[in-house]
Amino acid sequence: MYELKNDRYLRALLRQPVDVTPVWMMRQAGRYLPEYKATRAEAGDFMSLCRNAELACEVTLQPLRRFPLDAAILFSDILTVPDAMGLELYFEQGEGPCFARPVTCKADVDKLPIPDPEVELGYVMNAVRTIRRNLQGDVPLIGFSGSPWTLATYMVEGGSSKVFTKIKQMMYAEPRTLHLLLDKLAASVTLYLNGQIRAGAQSVMIFDTWGGVLTGSGYLEFSLSYMQKIIDGLQRESEGRRVPVTLFTKGGGQWLEAMAQTGCDALGLDWSTDINDARRRVGDKVALQGNMDPSVLYAPPARIEQEVASILAGFGHGEGHVCNLGHGIHQDVPPEHAGVFVEAAHRLSRPYHG
């Protein structure tokens, strides 16, 4: 493997000294880039793009050709795992992801297999290997998965939801069935992330997109405890380096202390959490990633810079900050505004280091 030329991102996650605050963007390989749209059109549809290692590699590298980002993130989808369990993922125009076979009862859960990362999810592992080869050590590669709770919401609801009635009905009326499902998902995600690490991912992230819809006790029981199981089962060293793990619960700012106790290396923050307050609460236990509102990228460049400056000042001096958006970049943001964000994060953060 190539020697890593820029390891700022990995160093920041481990709270080691860096020259400037590293920066990447959630969904940085995506629909705001015209070159992405062209590659997706070539692939035919979203899942065909995910399943073609060369094209998945191409869209992973596209933002790195435009911006001096400090990490690449695997181009894939959080719903690859339920799809590999036989739920048959498809995308409805304007509806988002849907499953042909949603989970409705214990019998459905009992039938679910635990996918082999090199068989049912081999296309993801091929993409990881292809991307690592093509990165040539320029920046590290982030692998990822959805959290068990988040995957379960899609599997039980049959797709996206705004109210989560089906999964919450299962949670309150048939908690044992939901625990069985979450247990299978935790085992599947652990295998999946370890597969990505063996294939070349140098850091992994668990996206708990819907943890924030739970009550405090519900979050600990149905979301965090299963992310804890995954963290306990992850391979934490590869190629002679630690493999840092980041947890991100959207809307989870009230549970940072509990999240920091899991043994993860870093916490992702959405824009509803003040980064200064987050740092005060978790101390030196974990690094923090975030947390600019993606909608700021609609603003003029001066306003984007102002927001970056405010977040950097909020975190303050010292190590352990990865600059990022508080969620994915919106598809209609001008690409040059993303460039302003990345450049400002590097330039304005220099005084906070060394």
State whether residue 198 is helix, strand or coil. Answer: helix
Mean pLDDT in the chain?
97
The reported pLDDT for the residue numbered 222 is 98
Tokens of 222: 């149905």
Q: Above pLDDT 90, what percent of the chain?
A: 97
Q: How far apart are CA 81 and CA 315, in angstroms?
A: 35
Report cis status (omega within 30 of 0) of the bond before 134: no
The reported pLDDT for the residue numbered 95 is 75
Burial class from Cβ neighbours inside 10 Å (0-12, 13-18, 19+) for residue 179 reads middle
For residues 222-249, average pLDDT:
98
Look at residue 8 and tell me whether its pLDDT is greater than 80: yes
Q: How many CB atoms lie within 10 A of CB 162?
A: 7
pLDDT digits (tens, 9 = 90+) for 170-216: 999 999 999 999 999 999 999 999 999 999 999 999 999 999 999 99
Q: How far apart are CA 114 and CA 6, in angstroms?
A: 36
The reported pLDDT for the residue numbered 1 is 67
pLDDT digits (tens, 9 = 90+) for 69-106: 999 999 999 999 999 999 999 987 777 899 999 999 99
Q: Which residues of 37-75 are buried (b: 16+ CB within 10 A; e: fewer)?
A: eebbeebeeebebbbbbebbbbbbbbbbeebebbbbbbb
State whether residue 254 is helix, strand or coil. Answer: helix
pLDDT digits (tens, 9 = 90+) for 142-152: 999 999 999 99
Confidence band for 350, pLDDT divided at 50, 70 and 90: very high
Active-site amino acid positions? 27, 31, 40, 77, 154
pLDDT digits (tens, 9 = 90+) for 268-304: 999 999 999 999 999 999 999 999 999 999 999 999 9
Residue type, 109: V
- Residue 139 contacts residue 77 (beta carbons within 8 Å): no
Q: Please give the CATH number for the structural domain made up of 8-352.
A: 3.20.20.210
Q: Which residues contact 1 (CB under 8 A, 6 or more apart)?
A: 132, 137, 200, 239
Q: Above pLDDT 70, what percent of the chain?
A: 100
Phi–psi pair at 229, nearest 5 degrees = -60, -40
* Of 157, 161, 127, 159, the residue nearest 144 (C-alpha): 127
Q: Give whole-number Cα distances, 79 to 93, 145, 211, 228, in Å.
A: 17, 8, 16, 20
User: Do the strands 287-289 and 266-268 form a parallel or antiparallel pair, or are they unpaired?
Assistant: parallel
**Summary count for the chain: helices (H), strands (E):** 16, 11
pLDDT digits (tens, 9 = 90+) for 44-73: 999 999 999 999 999 999 999 999 999 999
